[in-house]
Structure 1
Amino acid sequence: MDGSQPRSETPMASRKINLISSPMRAVIRLRRKVLKKSRLHLDLAREQSPELVQSRLLQRQISLSLFNQASFDNSQYFTFDTSVDQSALNKYKRKKKRRKSRVVLYPDSSKKYLPAEQKSKAKRCLLLLIGIICFQILNAIENLDDNLQKYDLDGLEKTMHREVFGQKVAVERIMELLKDYLATHIHNKPLVISFNGPTGVGKSHMGRLLAKHFRSVMDNDFVLQYFVMHHCPNKEAAPACRSDLSEKISNMVTRAEIEEKIPLFILDEVELMSPVLLETLSGFFQPNQTNEFLNAVYILISNVGGSEITTFLLQNVSTDLLHPQSKLQELLHILQPVLSRFHPLWKSADVIPFGPLERSHVTKCFLEEMLREGLYPDQGHVENLSSQLSYYTAGGREYAVTGCKQVGAKVNLL
């Protein structure tokens, strides 16, 4: 039994040795040879100098480390190979990229067509709506131009600049209000313009020019000139005057609404009106009325606030007579309380102040009147007549106290 046991172990050991591959055995042999050589070198190094031994030992260690690293990197065993995992990962990434962008291949014999775009019907409706809006805007602009051409406001402006002296700012403001209002036939309130200033500065003359012009472009039935001293001289007859004025205004606005025209009411000498007539007019100026009463233009002419305007302008002669917008607003701020104390109807009006006339403007009035009467306009004679009037003096300028009020009487005495 004892003799047979070693025999049985020998075949097992040979089997284990056979299991080791030949490359492994080659590595072991090489390692043994290197170790033997290193031992021999160490023995020789003991007999040599210590510096040389140390340098040679360092070289041997470096070569051994490089050899071991190269042998383990090149060996097929005892390493962790990640090439398989890396290739699988790269394959997965390539598949993912293919899923994102796939190239559609067409056969050579077939025709290629782009995908058909589906056109939305809402775009057509939107384009149609935009076209309708643009057409309406153009039509509205043309209608505004047609309305202004119907009243010939450009010709009116030229006439007023030519025949009204010294009131350039007032003329520009009047034309601005008329153009804005007469451009359309639909309004939310009537246009009320008030001419205020001292006597003889051209307020009544401006009213006559407006009446003459609108009678020529429209019909006489749509223009009313109401003079208080002529139509209602007695204050006792105020109720009858009120009913008469109300009937005239109502009939005129009704006819004008049928023909789509805007009537013009010129009311002169408003400061002489009785409170009953002023209340009647105030009722027509309100916005809460029927449509025909909203489409109308009222011109109020009065001397109310004339002294305040004269005083303000004489104190501000150096500011070029109302041309600065700030001075005009300051003057209107002074006038509004004065007019409101007289009657509240001026709260609904656009007030236009008429300033006093300079001596040069009075001279033009004399020339115009003499030409109208058929007299030769001698310059010396005109200067002599203008010197007979009374003037204010301020800032080196002369302003007529009564304006051109007495020009007609002076010319008639010639």
Structure 2
Amino acid sequence: MSEQTVHRSLLRMGLRSRKVPMLSSTKSLSSLGKETVNSGESVNVTLLASWSMLYYKLEVQYCQQPPVPQEPERWKVVSSVSPESLVDEKWGAASVSGYLSYPRFFCGRLVECCEENALKSTAFKEDLNNKLFGQHLAQDVIFRAVTGFMKNENPQKPLALSLHGGTGIGKNFISKIIAENIHQKGMSSKYVHLFESTMHFPHNNLVPLYKDQIQSWIRGNVSSCPRSIFIFDNMDELHPGLIDTIKPFLDYYEQIDGVSYRKAIFIFLSNAGGHVINRVVLGSSKRREELKLQDLESVLAVEVFNNKDNGFWHCNLIDKNLIDFYVPFLPLEYRHVKQCALAELRHRGLKADEELASLVAKEMTYFPKDLRIFSDKGCKTVSTKLDLRLSG
């Protein structure tokens, strides 16, 4: 948050009884006590330190940030100002205290807060229906699972979703939709945490270290925000046994070392089980849209548990039934790929050209080769194929 933002906020609060100098863009609150501001006036150290204290209270007290072991650099100036000097300032200590008694006032205005009941089910459903194509099963299961969990004021355990299917069919995208509907900043929120297996846990000989790091990271972030979201991508690339380190956090414990994890959400993304899903869809006598979760969930769980080439192999999360839903993502057909192309055109602010979308969809490769029913890569390369077409 910039000094200008703090300045304007103080003015809105009615702190106009004394002229407050504006810091120049080249100065910061950490430079308090140094010579001048825009107009050349001397800086009132106590006054500006009070601004700093206000910022600190907004960011820490009302966003539920736990005390940090080491004092951040930008707050060192505050330690030199006594509480009495802040109270004695006539210009606005009482006004500041009054506004600070209403933490909701600042959420979404000055700071990002951990919201308890942020999910709007109508908007969430619209996002799922309008932005995700060809995944009626995933849309239905995830909508009911997430909305039900968020409405429960006292869940018995965290929500654990395991999303399975081939590449480019919406697993990452639906995770993004969940994050955006729970936290204001979506995937950029400090309450949403993405672990990418090959990036964050590349070395097999460092698994014990990774286990400690994951536990510390989850413990610290849930302490800060009970509604934290943790996304583990590429579970099929994760070292077997590593994911078991989070078992205590997903179990039915009321608290662990004074921290409750029951309101957190854990999402696991994996290509494992994709071929089983494809086999069921191709071999079923039902139409694609008639398939239900029970047609796929049990065979998917067994396949993932017994597959040595993924991070869920013989893991305790499955063995102890701590995964709430195994969500199958179905392979996409030509019509779904065309919808992706049209959506990408609209996203770029271009006309939704049906002919261009059809050309892009036809360029994709499909399986089985003799029937060409399902896209090999889902919608993953639609954007680059559009680039090629548009540049020509």
Unmatched segments (≥5 aa) in structure 1: 1-146
Change (3 A) 1:150 1:379: closer
Change (3 A) 1:395 1:236: same
Give 1:167-316 correspondences, 5 Å limit.
167-216=135-184, 220-257=189-226, 262-288=227-253, 290=255, 292-316=260-284
Unmatched segments (≥5 aa) in structure 2: 1-114, 307-312
Cα deviation for residue 276 of structure 1 reads 4.4
Give 1:111-190 correspondences, 5 Å limit.
150-190=118-158
Task: State the alpha-carbon separation in 2 of the partners of residues 148 and 166 from structure 1.
Answer: 31
Alignment of 1:343 onto 2:314: yes
After superposition, the C-alpha distances for 1:263-312 in whole angstroms (9 at most, x for unaligned) are: 22122111111134212133322224516122211111111100000110
1:294 counterpart SS class: coil
The question of whether the paired residues in 2 share the 8 Å contact of 1:278 and 1:343 is answered with no
1:229 counterpart SS class: helix
Task: State the alpha-carbon separation in 2 of the partners of residues 238 and 308 from structure 1.
Answer: 29
Task: State the alpha-carbon separation in 2 of the partners of residues 280 and 192 from structure 1.
Answer: 15
2:359 counterpart SS class: helix
Give, as a single letter, the amino acid of the residue that structure 1 aligns with 2:362.
S
Q: Which residue of 1 aligns with 2:377?
A: 402
Cα deviation for residue 381 of structure 1 reads 2.5
Name the TM-score, length of structure 1 as normaliser. 0.57
320, 333, 340: which is aligned to 1:365?
A: 340
Give, as a single letter, the amino acid of the residue that structure 1 aligns with 2:380.
K
Cα deviation for residue 411 of structure 1 reads 2.1
Task: State the alpha-carbon separation in 2 of the partners of residues 150 and 367 from structure 1.
Answer: 30
Cα deviation for residue 186 of structure 1 reads 1.6
The question of whether the paired residues in 1 share the 8 Å contact of 2:233 and 2:270 is answered with yes
2:326 counterpart SS class: strand
Task: State the alpha-carbon separation in 2 of the partners of residues 336 and 390 from structure 1.
Answer: 29
Task: State the alpha-carbon separation in 2 of the partners of residues 240 and 374 from structure 1.
Answer: 46
Change (3 A) 1:171 1:309: same
The question of whether the paired residues in 2 share the 8 Å contact of 1:214 and 1:223 is answered with no
Q: How many residues are paired up?
A: 261
Task: State the alpha-carbon separation in 1 of the partners of residues 388 and 202 from structure 2.
Answer: 29
The question of whether the paired residues in 2 share the 8 Å contact of 1:391 and 1:399 is answered with yes
Structure of higher CA gyration radius: 1
Change (3 A) 1:205 1:223: same
After superposition, the C-alpha distances for 1:320-363 in whole angstroms (9 at most, x for unaligned) are: 225354xx313222112112222332332111111011111100
After superposition, the C-alpha distances for 1:163-182 in whole angstroms (9 at most, x for unaligned) are: 10011221111111112211
Change (3 A) 1:180 1:380: closer
Task: State the alpha-carbon separation in 1 of the partners of residues 133 and 168 from structure 2.
Answer: 11
Task: State the alpha-carbon separation in 2 of the partners of residues 301 and 324 from structure 1.
Answer: 21
Task: State the alpha-carbon separation in 1 of the partners of residues 246 and 349 from structure 2.
Answer: 41
Task: State the alpha-carbon separation in 2 of the partners of residues 243 and 197 from structure 1.
Answer: 29
Task: State the alpha-carbon separation in 2 of the partners of residues 164 and 293 from structure 1.
Answer: 29
Task: State the alpha-carbon separation in 1 of the partners of residues 118 and 263 from structure 2.
Answer: 16
1:308 counterpart SS class: helix
Alignment of 1:321 onto 2:288: yes
Task: State the alpha-carbon separation in 2 of the partners of residues 195 and 388 from structure 1.
Answer: 27
Taking only aligned residues, the RMSD between alpha carbons, in angstroms, comes to 2.7
Cα deviation for residue 214 of structure 1 reads 2.2
Task: State the alpha-carbon separation in 2 of the partners of residues 247 and 400 from structure 1.
Answer: 40
Identity of aligned residues (%): 25
Task: State the alpha-carbon separation in 2 of the partners of residues 217 and 405 from structure 1.
Answer: 24
Name the TM-score, length of structure 2 as normaliser. 0.60
